[in-house]
Amino acid sequence: MGYSIAVAGKGGTGKTSLCGLTIRYLTEKKRGPVLAVDADANTNLNEVLGVKIHATVGALREDSLAAVKSTAPRPGGMSMEQLFDYQIQQAIIEAKGFDLLVMGRPEGAGCYCAANNIIRKYMDRLAEKYPYMVMDNEAGLEHLSRRTTQDTDLLLIISDPTVRGIMTGGRIGELVKELNLNVKRSVLIVNRVQDGADGALRQAIERTGVEFAGFVPSDDLIFDYDLNGKPLVQLPADSKALTSYFAILDRLFA
Ligand SMILES: Nc1ncnc2c1ncn2[C@@H]1O[C@H](COP(=O)(O)OP(=O)(O)O)[C@@H](O)[C@H]1O
Ligand SMILES: [Mg+2]
């Protein structure tokens, strides 16, 4: 099993942006390839990464559900799982240094249990082929208990630079423990910090009891790239958010 990284935190804290930069870090500094998974129904990791989506697992889930229910013979006498293997292979988007799998949103009502079980099994098998997996998640915690894949080696809890935001981060850390989730290491990252962090922020961080990984400064370049629809992974190597974040990852992987 490869090393898996996931993110958690409120909406707008920078989960997707930092996932993108994590993927760049791993492809540049570690020997990739990386499996990037966009597990947020409001898919946008691909924009940060600068790749186009041509298929999602959500759409496949629809097909699989129909196939599970259908009694008609499948093409070429394929088993249900073979069919799904084949389909999900089609959903993998290949890019330089990484592959991207977009979960998307399953359309319509209905029970996806059968299809979801196959997805989970397949995802685990797929993840084995990559030394690293980075999963972007939606806000909230449901995704952690739903566990699209088996284990998470590193959970990045992202917070905005407010006391309340950091307290939320702390609660996420507690929940991970309470729910007995398969998370080996959780760390807190405070993003979008303006001119240093004050004492109140530092005290709040200490009170969370979550291992603190570091601050990422607010960076106008990120705003700029966003405004102009430029992929964030193309940030110059000396941009301040990128250098701070890469230093955090250097420490985490040391
Ligand atoms: N360090 C930063 N400096 C400036 N803007 C940032 C920074 N990190 C994220 N942003 C911006 O904040 C917004 C939310 O980021 P995003 O990564 O989409 O958050 P999430 O995935 O948690 O909802 C985006 O417009 C992004 O460009
Ligand atoms: Mg996001």
Q: How far is the CA of 17 from the centre of ligand 2 (A)?
A: 7
Q: What is the DSSP string of 15-26?
A: HHHHHHHHHHHH
Give the pTM: 0.91
Structure tokens of 152?
């998470």
Q: How far is the CA of 136 from the centre of ligand 2 (A)?
A: 7
What would the pLDDT profile of 150-175 be if each residue is shown by its tens digit? 578 999 999 999 999 999 999 999 99
Protein residue closest via CA to atom 23 of ligand 1: 12
pLDDT of residue 124: 77
Average pLDDT over residues 124-137: 89
Of 112-121, 142-151, 215-224, which one has max mean pLDDT? 215-224
pLDDT of residue 253: 93
Residue 13 in contact with ligand 1 by CB distance below 6 A: yes
Which residue of 15, 17, 243 sits with most ligand 1 atoms within 8 Å of its CB, as the best mutation to test the pocket? 17
| Least confident among 12-16, 64-68, 207-211 | 64-68
Residue 87 in contact with ligand 1 by CB distance below 6 A: no
Q: What are the C-alpha distances in Å from 160 to residues 60, 94, 211, 216?
A: 35, 32, 16, 10
Average pLDDT over residues 50-57: 90
Helix (H), strand (E) at residue 106:
none
Average pLDDT over residues 230-250: 97
Higher pLDDT among residues 140 and 158, named by residue: 158
Q: 149 pLDDT exceeds 50?
A: no
Protein residue closest via CA to atom 14 of ligand 1: 12
* Residues, beta carbon < 5 Å, ion ligand 2: 15-16
The C-alpha atoms of residue 253 and residue 213 are separated, in whole angstroms, by: 11
Q: What are the C-alpha distances in Å from 184 to residues 26, 129, 165, 195, 221?
A: 19, 20, 23, 32, 33
What would the pLDDT profile of 83-96 be if each residue is shown by its tens digit? 777 777 888 999 99
Q: 127 pLDDT exceeds 70?
A: yes
Check: CB of residue 43 under 8 Å from CB of residue 104: yes
pLDDT of residue 118: 66
Cβ count near 42 (within 10 Å): 11
Ligand 1 atom nearest to CA at 241? 1
DSSP summary character for residue 233:
G
Nearest to 20 by CA among 134, 127, 104: 134
pLDDT of residue 109: 56
The whole-angstrom distance between residue 46's C-alpha and the CA centroid of its chain comes to 11
pLDDT band for position 195 (cuts 50, 70, 90): confident
- Report the relative pairing of strands 3-8 and 152-159 from DSSP bridges: parallel
Residue 140 in contact with ligand 1 by CB distance below 6 A: no
Mean pLDDT of the chain: 87
